[in-house]
Every structure is written in C-alpha cells, then in structure tokens.
Amino acid sequence: LSAEDEKIFTTFYMKMNGQFTNVQYNTLNFTYPDVFYDLPYIERCIQHVSGMKPITYDCCINSCVAYIGALAKLKCCPHCSEPRFKMNGKPAQPYHYLLIIPQLQAQYANV
C-alpha cells in the first residue's frame, strides 16, 4: 500500500474504532479537510483495494422488512406503514450487505 492508502485506511480505522457517527466524522472532515478524508472517497478506496462492493437494499425505517422479493415494489411497510422513501425520493433506511463468499475467499487467500 502507498503512504496515501495507509493514511486513508488509518482515517477509516479511527472513525470505526472511535465509533464516530457519520455526522461527527463529517464535522471533523469539514473542520480538518487535510487530515480527514471525505467518507464516500474512503469507501471507494476500500472497495477498490478489497475488491468487494456492498449490495444495498431498502429497508423499513423501523427494520421491520427489507424491500426485496415479493416486497420489492411496496412504497410503505406492510407491518408499521412507515414510508419506504424520504420526501427527497431516497430510501429512508438503506442496508448495505457484503456477500459472505467473497469475504471468506479474501480471508483465506491471506493465510
């Protein structure tokens, strides 16, 4: 890894280990842009280096259901009636999922 990559991954480690919310991290990024990288940029770098890209599913804001399969076309939750989308048209609660097989392959490839 390059020195730049190490700095990116160290910044991400700090966010995760420090249990910063995205709002807290973005405040640090805004205040110290030369120290803290933009989160979407960090995510793209990690995806590039790891070769893994998460699959995103829309979920109920209350975690009742994931809008997949038979529920894929619903506009509100069948259990709590909360809307699937925010007023701006974006999903109210996206869920990011990494497939297990590529994770296991990557883990055992580094043994």
pLDDT (tens digit per residue) in 27-43: 999 999 888 899 999 98
What mean pLDDT do residues 41-52 have?
87
Site of tokens 């894929």: 72
In a shared domain, residues 42 and 62? no
In a shared domain, residues 8 and 45? yes
Number of domains in the chain: 2
The H-assigned helical ranges of the chain are 3-17, 22-31, 39-50, 100-109
In a shared domain, residues 44 and 68? no
Domain that holds residue 10: 1-51
Q: Centre a 10 Å sphere on the Cβ of residue 59 and count the other Cβ atoms it contains.
A: 19
pTM of the complete model beyond 0.75: no
